[in-house]
Structure 1
Amino acid sequence: MAVHSSDYPFSAFPSPLTTSPKVPNPESQTPSPAAAAAAAHGGSAKKRKSGLIECQEPQGGGNSAGESSLDLISWLPDEVLGTVISLLPTKDGARTQAVSRRWRPLWRAAPLNLGASSDLTDQDQKRLVFVSKILSDHPGPARRFSLPCMRLRDRYAKINGWLRSQTLTGLEEIQFGYEIEDPLLHYPLPPSALRFAPTLRIAYFGYCDFPREMAPLLKFPCLKQLNLCGVIVLEDVLHSLLCGCPVLESLLLEGNVGVGCLRINSPTLRSIGISVSCYGTRVENPILLQDLIIEDAPCLERLLPLYPIRGPLTIRVVRAPKLEISGWLSDSITKLHIGTTVFQKMIALSLTTSMRSTVKVLALDTFGPNLDSVVDFLKCFPCLQKLYIKADLQKSRKNKWSYNPLDPIECLESHLRQVVVMKYWGMRPDVDFAKFFVLNAKVLKKMVFGCINNCNDNWMANQHRRLQLDNKASQGVEFKFRRGSCSISLTHSRHKQDDPFDSHIFADDA
């Protein structure tokens, strides 16, 4: 396919600008090099501004007196400008060469950030040409290489050649995944994608077959974040892979096949996000994750089953003394072991252990809602501060629970500050459920209802009376009723947030 020079955003540039530098026609909300550099090095920009008043010459010279007096960003050191450029999307980073003579060599000198997604071009053939051209033109080193949703077809040799390019030597971040066009074919991850193991800090592999021969030999001494999505990987291969990651902090596993039981032993892991789903029709009788066992994770802070109905069936937490955030926990989890406490389909079989001073944020997905089940979780997590409840209404559910002040629940007495009830109908089962917290949570600050109906004035007045809001246990509590069910899905981008269940979904409260 012929690609004209005007189609290639890295070779033909407009005349140098004589005003403050600005990336022309950005295709995203990425700030211009000037804005990004100013944010990254504001102090230096102000310091150098005083030099302009003294009519000093900027580093590298300007194109004219106008540029000399207006182009403050170009006064920054090359290493600062290079850092800014390497954080920009590929197209915008390359376009900085159009700013002035001062900027022209900087893109090739800065660490390469190569994102070969639709942002580069939405035409597949052009993308092939552009990636090859960039890897040929840029001398390296590379910071990031993103190749998501690549159509394999007859391009395995070309993709493998890209990954072997000397430009990518020392790569710190890789994102690699295929677009599955024919589920009956194999989509092998090129072994060359793993040659960066010594330097990678972030790795995402999606919709591919992970090589089994190399795993026992792989060591990722710098890897802090690992995402596997839609990958076919054997159980022993995944365990070998995790054993080779001595500083891993974040592990995200979505819809992978080949692992029935995953055991976690990591001194550094802080976050686990996991979901189970069948990998289409690519594998006959697929092995899906049944058991997740946290044997020893002293730094683990969050354990997040991303989608309630996608398992795993059994979760066992043996040792995770710093666990603070957990959910969604649902009836789809057949057995949940927390220390020696066992929940079977959200019903406590025993309450012999409490995770003291640990779990502070909990999200539950339950039928009913089932107040008895939720109270058992409150007892298990005495330091709970935030509770999110999503429930499918059962009209026959009875939520009559008498709180005994002689047998207090610690989190209700001293810690629980926020309760969010999603899919709230305002019928007897969920009214009685919510009223339990209204009347008994003594330090509650906010309670939010995601309402199914339209929240008109008559309905609101009726709810105010039925929930006994005037008799609230916490005098400082704020009640909010929001139209809509407030559904929250833990996507891969949300699982890393401080509170992955919190968002701006309550901005339009009624």
Structure 2
Amino acid sequence: MDYCLPACPVSATASLSAAISDDGGGGEDRISALPDALLRNVVSRLPVKDGARTDALSRRWRGLWRATPLVLDDTHLVTDGPGDALAEWLRLLADKGVENLVLVNRPWSSGVPVQLQPSLFRCGASLRRLYLGVWFFPFTRDGPPRSPDVFPHLRELGICDGFMFDQDLEYVLACSPKLEKFALISNYCLPDCIRIGSHSLRCVLIWHSLVDEVAAIAAPQLQRLILYCTNATGPGRTIRVKIGYAPQLAVLGYLDTAKHVLEIGNTIIKAKATKVSPHTLVPSVKVLALKVRFRVAEEVKTLLSFLRCFPEVEC
């Protein structure tokens, strides 16, 4: 899962030290001569303890740490404190106006993700990117009322190795008027139906997850819908991929002729049985990825039916 998370902006090996010249005089301090904006950039890339210590370097550095946007990797602050410290961390992050939050529950030893506290919603007003790993998403019934003001600036959302009820996903989409990217990675059974109703989403990724339905029901800005290594929640079951209103959809895949049931509008596309009509065409799709076993006759027939629905495919 780690390689699905955004790279940490803080270097794990960074340090700040002064070079000593051969003549023993210490040499010219050229770093301190840099503009404040560059120095704050340097400080923000240090582990939090080292960044705070820069206050003691000289008068020139004093105050730079306090004026630097908070970039925190809590692996640099490992303690033996109680687990409920998370609620206090979320409160502090909300007060500081955190913009990018990657929250991963480690180590995962119980086999079941831990329920994340509703205090997460306190960070919503400032968040621009949110990635959650190995958590059960907080119940939205305990959060603020559904409103665009809950996550007004959120542009990226990633749920990794966790659980999220269908209604909670619908709540987040409805409360995120600027959300452009959504990723569901290695999720187990919940949500089992992903209904994309968003006027801002441009890219949706469902990767190594268990789902029964993925439906672009009202997604006027959606350009990419990627399903990779997805499976239904029960053996022998199929996944319904429904394209409702998605006029800008240009990239679609991977449609699996063995386990995906394609529905366009209100028409289920069946092998040889579906007649091409304006209601079953998606001319906006230019890139289509398919998975088919050519030795299985029924899958080949399904493939041909799928292809008829995307007349403008280029590759």
State which of 89, 92, 97 in structure 1 corresponds to 2:54. Answer: 97
Counterpart residue identity of residue 270, structure 1 = R
What's the counterpart of residue 135 of structure 2? 208
Rounded to whole Å, the distance in 1 between the matches of 2:62 and 2:20 is: 14
Aligned to 2:290: 364
- 2:158/2:182 contact within 8 Å kept: yes
Q: CA deviation at 1:190?
A: 2.2
Distance 2:69 2:114 in 1: 30
The partner residue of 1:380 within 306, 309, 312 is 309
Is there any run of 5+ residues in structure 2 with no aligned partner, and where?
Answer: 1-11
Contact kept in structure 2, 1:276 and 1:310, CA below 8 Å: no
Query: TM-score, length-normalised on structure 2?
Result: 0.75
Question: Bigger relative contact order, structure 1 or 2, given CA contacts below 8 A and separation 6+?
Answer: 2
| Whole-angstrom CA distance in 1 between matches of 2:153 and 2:66 | 25
**Consecutive unaligned residues in structure 1, runs of 5 or more:** 1-8, 20-63, 121-125, 130-153, 278-287, 387-510
User: Match for 2:205 among 273, 289, 296?
Assistant: 273
Distance 1:216 1:109 in 2: 31
User: What's the % identity of the aligned pairs?
Assistant: 29
1:351 to 271, 276, 280: 276
Which of 192, 210, 224 does residue 302 from structure 1 map onto?
224
- The CA distance in 1 between the partners of 2:307 and 2:56, in whole Å, is 59
Rounded Cα–Cα distance in structure 1 between residues aligned with 2:37 and 2:51: 16
SS in 1 for 2:269: strand
What amino acid sits opposite 1:305 in the alignment? Answer: L
Higher relative helix content: 1
* The 10-residue stretch of structure 1 (77-86 or 371-380) with the greater mean CA deviation from structure 2: 371-380
Instruction: Give 2:168's aligned residue.
Output: 237
Superposed CA offset, 1:332-353 (max 9, x none): 5341113466434x77734323
Contact 1:228 1:256 in 2 (8 A): no
Q: Which amino acid aligns with 2:72?
A: L
- Matches of 2:248 and 2:156, distance apart in 1: 19
Q: Which residue of 2 aligns with 1:78?
A: 36
SS at match of 2:78: helix
1:247 aligns with 2:178: yes
> 1:253 deviation in Å?
1.7
RMSD: 3.6
SS at match of 2:71: strand
Q: CA deviation at 1:381?
A: 2.2
What secondary structure, in the 3-state scheme, does the structure 1 residue paired with 2:39 have? Answer: helix
1:319 to 1:155, Cα distance in 2 relative to 1, 3 A: same
The alignment of Structure 1 onto Structure 2 pairs a total of residues equal to 284
Question: CA 1:13/1:371 → structure 2, altered by over 3 Å: closer, same or farther?
Answer: closer
Shift of the 342–257 alpha-carbon distance from structure 1 to 2, 3 Å rule, reads: closer
Supply the distance in 2 between the matched residues of 1:253 and 1:235 (Cα, whole angstroms).
Answer: 12
- Greater Rg by CA: 1
After TM superposition, give the deviation of residue 375 of structure 1 in Å.
4.4
CA distance in 2, matches of 1:67, 1:169: 36
Q: Which amino acid letter does the alignment assign opposite residue 263 of structure 1?
A: R
Rounded Cα–Cα distance in structure 1 between residues aligned with 2:162 and 2:216 = 22
Q: 3-state SS of the aligned residue for 1:113?
A: coil
Matching residue within 45, 59, 65 for 1:107: 65
Cα distance in 2, alignment partners of residues 379 and 258 from structure 1: 33
In structure 1, which of residues 127, 151, 158 is the aligned counterpart of residue 78 of structure 2? 127
Residues of 2 paired with 1:323 and 1:207: CA distance? Answer: 31
Q: 2:247 maps to what in 1?
A: 321
Q: CA distance change for structure 1 residues 100 and 303 in 2, over 3 Å: closer, same or farther?
A: same
Residues in 2 aligned to 1:271 and 1:264: alpha-carbon distance in whole angstroms: 11
Structure 1 residue 235, shift from structure 2 partner:
2.3
Query: 3-state SS of the aligned residue for 2:126?
Result: coil
How far residue 193 of structure 1 moved from its aligned partner, in angstroms, is 2.5
Query: After the TM superposition, which residues 133-282 of structure 1 pair with which residues of structure 2 at under 5 Å, given as runs?
Result: 155-165=82-92, 169-178=96-105, 179-183=107-111, 187-212=114-139, 213-215=141-143, 217=145, 219-254=150-185, 255-275=187-207, 277=209
CA gap 1:237/1:322 in 2 versus in 1, 3 angstroms: same
Separation of aligned partners in 2, 1:104 and 1:383 = 61
> 8 Å contact 1:309–1:330 — kept in the other structure?
no
Q: Which whole-Å CA distance do the structure 1 matches of 2:272 and 2:50 have between them?
A: 55
How far is the alpha carbon of 1:113 from its aligned partner? 0.8
